[in-house]
Amino acid sequence: MDFGALFGSLDNFLSFTMGGLVFGAIYALIALGYTMVYGVLQLINFAHSEVFMYGTFAVAWVFIALHGTGSATWSLGHAIPYLLVALIAAMLLSAGVALLLERLAYRPLINKGAPKLIALISAIGASFALAEAMGLRDRIASWVGLDGKLANYVAPNKARDVFSNPVSIQPHGLFEIGGYKVTDVDLVIVVAALVMMVALDQFVRRTRFGRGIRAVAQDPESAALMGVNSTRVVQLTFLIGGLMAGAAATLYMMKIGSTRQNAGFLLGVKAFTAAVMGGIGNLRGALLGGLILGVMENWGSAVFGSEWKDVVAFILLVLILLVRPSGLLGESLGKARA
């Protein structure tokens, strides 16, 4: 253990904290998808990590389509028009995958009144199926006769390998906090995540659709008796979760720049952890959980070494479940703000 690495100087401490906040914001955005679906269906949608992963590919594909495969390094300003197109594409693809998932993997089970455990197993199966389908994209492209045309998008024979955005976005330092150079990319990630969080929070609180979501979350039977179309509400929930995952995917690709068919797995587990920490079913809890998780991980990396990063995250999860099983802010999609 090396507490000196973390607390030895204020600069280091701030650097670890800032680095954690940036990644924590991405966790938080992905966590929204887990928390909303859980709030409405009491179902942990384990395939949400793949919804995110499809979004990351959409971002890279947009850059390939608009820019080509030649590698380039751009400033954020130069990349913004591309990023906006990528954002829309990623949100659409992720939302599409989320809706497909709801239609194929969950609705038939829910309609039959199957126990939640069955739906959970279906979620895990769907998660693997989606990840493997992305891993076999070269073969899928050849089945539909597009392998030649899509060579740039599937990376022939190596579809399971790492897939990179041809354009890497070079961040520029804006100002320093301690020794940490806060860059434009970091700032966009945190601000975008906060804005989307607030927007979603307001949507659920203030709109008619939001009221429907809250009603179904609180009491599905009564909501149905009052004329709420619960199928529509569930669809809407998946749609919003997918849109947020697409947005998170765009931010992730801005920062990391490469992805692969299993990129969702670890991030998904982390986002799920964040959701549980904040109080699953609680939108504000997802934000708080994501940021805390990101920061704690980095502190853990500093003190114990980076190989302990994931261990720290999951020990934290266990501790919170032991001390406060409902999470830091409690379950509340339906209840607290009804």
Site residues (CB under 8 A) for another protein?
5, 8-9, 11-12, 15-16, 19-20, 22-23, 71-73, 157-158, 160-162, 164, 166, 168, 170-171, 173, 179-181, 183, 252, 256-258, 260, 262-263, 265-267, 297-298, 301-302, 305-307, 309-310
**What 3 state SS string does the chain have?**
CCHHHHHCCHHHHHHHHHHHHHHHHHHHHHHHHHHHHHHHHCCCCCCHHHHHHHHHHHHHHHHHHHHCCCCEEEEHHHHHHHHHHHHHHHHHHHHHHHHHHHHHHHHHHHHCCCCHHHHHHHHHHHHHHHHHHHHCHHHHHHHCCCCCCCHHHHCCCCCCCCEECCEEEECCEEEEECCEEEEHHHHHHHHHHHHHHHHHHHHHHHCHHHHHHHHHHHCHHHHHHCCCCHHHHHHHHHHHHHHHHHHHHHHHHHHCCEECCCHHHHHHHHHHHHHHHHCCCCHHHHHHHHHHHHHHHHHHHHHHCHHHHHHHHHHHHHHHHHHCCCCCCCCCCCCCCC
Smallest distance, another protein to C-beta of residue 297, A: 8
Whole-angstrom Cα distance, residue 211 to residue 208?
Answer: 5
Smallest distance, another protein to C-beta of residue 284, A: 23
Q: 135 or 330: whose CB is closer to another protein?
A: 135
To 5 degrees, how large is the angle CA 61–CA 182–CA 202? 70
Q: 168 or 231: whose CB is closer to another protein?
A: 168
Q: 250 or 298: whose CB is closer to another protein?
A: 298
Smallest distance, another protein to C-beta of residue 258, A: 5
Smallest distance, another protein to C-beta of residue 301, A: 3
Q: 76 or 92: whose CB is closer to another protein?
A: 76
Q: 193 or 263: whose CB is closer to another protein?
A: 263
Whole-angstrom Cα distance, residue 151 to residue 59?
Answer: 17
List, in sequence order, every residue forming a beta bridge with 259; answer none if it has no partner: 163
Q: 83 or 236: whose CB is closer to another protein?
A: 83
Smallest distance, another protein to C-beta of residue 168, A: 3
Determine if residue 145 is left, alpha or beta; phi over 0 gives left, psi from -120 to 50 gives alpha, anything else beta: left
Q: 16 or 38: whose CB is closer to another protein?
A: 16
Smallest distance, another protein to C-beta of residue 328, A: 22
Smallest distance, another protein to C-beta of residue 1, A: 14
Smallest distance, another protein to C-beta of residue 336, A: 32
Q: 254 or 329: whose CB is closer to another protein?
A: 254
